[in-house]
Structure 1
Amino acid sequence: MRFNPRARLDSSQVSSAGGGGGGGGGIGLPLGGGIGGIVVMILLVVFFGPSVLGGQSGPSSSGGSPGDASTCTSGEQANGSSAGDRLCRLVAITDSVQAFWATELPKETGKQYTQIVTRPFSGSVSTGCGSATSDAGPFYCPTDQTVYLDLSFFDTLFTQLGGKDTAFTEAYVVAHEYGHHIQNQLGLMGKVRTQRGPNSDSVKLETMADCLAGVWTKNATTTQDADGNVLISDLTDADIDEGIAAAKVVGDDAIEKRTSGQVDEEQWTHGSSAQRVAAFKVGLQYGTIDACNFFDASNQHYPAAG
């Protein structure tokens, strides 16, 4: 995956501010969707999904910002491997995802897309959905309509969970979280009633976000900056395979096998590896919100748990 060196990045879409809005208790579904959802213990806590952040009270103090996104102005800065490059890559990915949905959402649904921000943080952060720490992994808070992301999550994903250290793996994670924003704009987050099990509303919510990430992927190389330059100049099948590999390692069954050696599908909150991969592929194949709406009882694309 390569970003167009001549693309002009809109760094305003990634906030460098430290804390978010205050709140009461911890984050819980359906208040926010995350990339992973089962508590993982590998010497240290690796990551939590928002559904397990209960029991906190009041906002925590922010641990600060991992960098100044305002310095990210060109696509060339997103192609490197340093910490600063990763921050600029986050800007480029966010720009691309939002450019796509700004066009696609009204075209498919007649609803105007509301642009939001990605907020990188370090340590802990206060959000409109409550307080969170780096252990939360990436998540979306519908109350303040913000995607929160500690960039150190990717180190965890790559070094401890087995994901591949690639730009598209990062893009898959960000696109998944923006899938939750699309769900929020369509009023689908309020449909979550059941939160555990392979066919629960929680799994439908999360696999739909994977599917919407696939929809963006199908169109990623067509997204443009404000001057009409494409943002992503190259996205290969190998890149996409790496994103699929990331979906596998954050499947509920994969996490259960890694931590306890046993699989209990009745505890699933985000879907099995097979479900998450299948959902992503639905979006990649059909490229529409409608194909990804797993809350629609007539939808034939909802992925099986196997």
Structure 2
Amino acid sequence: MTFNDNAKSSSSKTRRRGRTGGIVAGGGGVAVIALFLLSQFLGVDLTGLAGGGTPQNGADEEIAACDTGADANANLDCRLDLAGESIDAYWATQLSDYRVPPVIFFEDQTNTGCGGATSAVGPFYCPADETIYMDTSFFTDLRDRFGANSGPLAELYVLAHESGHHIQNITGTMDGLDLAATGPDSDSVRLEVQADCYAGAWVGEASTVPDASGTPFLEPITSQQVADALSAAAAVGDDRIQESATGQVNPESWTHGSSEQRQKWFTAGYEGGPEACDTFAGAL
């Protein structure tokens, strides 16, 4: 996924969070939905956070020198920052009440509106503070541990997926779901694959989304770049993760969807836009 070199950033919404080290007591209870969403990609059990402490955070600093598409093509942080602007510009055309979610880069551990979290949970969206949290070292794991293709769109798929959860939060899709249930047709899986579908919807229109001056943020998407995104979606399928970890697949424990489901719904959004993303109607 290549940015137009002369595309311009209007204002950074991405911050890098410093660390002061240590854990302080407190943090309070964490809602079930937050615990679920903090386990975005790896299905990690985070219930232990409910009574634990929270990390101490340093100041949030704006990502520096991310002004153009050329900067985005050369630097991962800038790439995610400018992609975030493109995603926001796209969803602002789809939702009249769209609100821009901040993106926080962190290392190892951080405090959020949903409680304390570590890099082990992978990138996640916290509905309590409407913020996306990412430790960018996850992209190395995505490639080396889970076998996804490398490539910018594999990375940007992750951000677009988390932005999809923000859309679900804004539209009320998260309300009233049974997120304690698991399985290939569970509400948890339906929520996750809908976020994949929303990611695909943005990718399908990304090369037409303009910056403030009217220049498209991105060049036309190639078939290889779409293949990279599909590879990333497959790599974080429940079946792929279970098989690599234990050698067995247990569909009844799925919370995020199989590789096939995740690829299917990304493709549905890519080809049909948000209107094709009703994952809560019928079979998956």
Asked if TM exceeds 0.5, the reply is yes
Q: Give the superposition deviation at 1:71.
A: 2.0
Is 1:37 matched up with 2:42?
yes
**Paired residues, number:** 274
List, as ranges, runs of 4+ consecutive aligned residues in structure 1 with deviation greater than 3 Å. Answer: 25-31, 62-65
Q: Give the superposition deviation at 1:284.
A: 1.2
Judge conservation of contact 1:212–1:292 (CA < 8 Å) in 2.
Answer: yes
Counterpart in 2 of 1:42?
Answer: none
1:205 to 1:243, Cα distance in 2 relative to 1, 3 A: same
Alpha-carbon distance between aligned partners in 2 of 1:9 and 1:274, rounded to the nearest angstrom: 35
Counterpart in 1 of 2:130?
Answer: 145
Deviations 1:109-154 (A, max 9, x none): xxx1111211111111100001101111000001000000000000
Judge conservation of contact 2:39–2:46 (CA < 8 Å) in 1.
Answer: no
Is 1:74 matched up with 2:64?
no
Q: Give the superposition deviation at 1:63.
A: 7.7
1:62 counterpart SS class: strand
Counterpart in 2 of 1:9?
Answer: 9
Counterpart in 2 of 1:104?
Answer: 94
1:132 counterpart SS class: strand
Alpha-carbon distance between aligned partners in 2 of 1:63 and 1:54, rounded to the nearest angstrom: 25
Q: Give the superposition deviation at 1:70.
A: 3.1
1:120 to 1:27, Cα distance in 2 relative to 1, 3 A: farther
The letter for the 1-side match of 2:78 is C
Residue ranges of structure 1 left out of the alignment (5+ in a row): 39-47, 107-111
Alpha-carbon distance between aligned partners in 2 of 1:26 and 1:69, rounded to the nearest angstrom: 29
Aligned residues: CA RMSD: 2.0
1:181 to 1:209, Cα distance in 2 relative to 1, 3 A: same
Judge conservation of contact 1:24–1:59 (CA < 8 Å) in 2.
Answer: no
Judge conservation of contact 2:236–2:259 (CA < 8 Å) in 1.
Answer: yes
Q: Give the superposition deviation at 1:59.
A: 1.8
The letter for the 2-side match of 1:29 is I
Alpha-carbon distance between aligned partners in 2 of 1:64 and 1:249, rounded to the nearest angstrom: 34
Q: Give the superposition deviation at 1:192.
A: 2.0
Is 1:55 matched up with 2:48?
yes
Out of 270, 276, 282, the position equivalent to 2:262 is: 276
1:169 to 1:286, Cα distance in 2 relative to 1, 3 A: same
Q: Give the superposition deviation at 1:34.
A: 5.2
Q: Give the superposition deviation at 1:30.
A: 5.0
Alpha-carbon distance between aligned partners in 2 of 1:272 and 1:174, rounded to the nearest angstrom: 19
Out of 161, 167, 188, the position equivalent to 2:146 is: 161
Judge conservation of contact 1:23–1:128 (CA < 8 Å) in 2.
Answer: no
Q: Give the superposition deviation at 1:221.
A: 0.5
1:264 to 1:63, Cα distance in 2 relative to 1, 3 A: farther
1:33 to 1:192, Cα distance in 2 relative to 1, 3 A: farther
Counterpart in 2 of 1:126?
Answer: 111
Counterpart in 2 of 1:262?
Answer: 248
The letter for the 1-side match of 2:277 is C
2:56 counterpart SS class: coil
2:110 counterpart SS class: strand
Alpha-carbon distance between aligned partners in 1 of 2:225 and 2:212, rounded to the nearest angstrom: 26
- Taking structure 1 as the reference length, the TM-score comes to 0.84
Residue ranges of structure 2 left out of the alignment (5+ in a row): 20-25
Alpha-carbon distance between aligned partners in 1 of 2:34 and 2:56, rounded to the nearest angstrom: 24
Q: Give the superposition deviation at 1:16.
A: 2.6
Alpha-carbon distance between aligned partners in 2 of 1:30 and 1:16, rounded to the nearest angstrom: 22
1:144 counterpart SS class: coil
Counterpart in 2 of 1:41?
Answer: none
Judge conservation of contact 2:34–2:126 (CA < 8 Å) in 1.
Answer: no
Counterpart in 1 of 2:227?
Answer: 241
- Taking structure 2 as the reference length, the TM-score comes to 0.90
Judge conservation of contact 1:33–1:141 (CA < 8 Å) in 2.
Answer: yes
Out of 274, 277, 282, the position equivalent to 1:292 is: 277
1:154 counterpart SS class: helix
1:76 to 1:34, Cα distance in 2 relative to 1, 3 A: farther
Judge conservation of contact 1:9–1:95 (CA < 8 Å) in 2.
Answer: yes
Alpha-carbon distance between aligned partners in 2 of 1:55 and 1:257, rounded to the nearest angstrom: 25
The letter for the 2-side match of 1:197 is G
Counterpart in 2 of 1:196?
Answer: 182
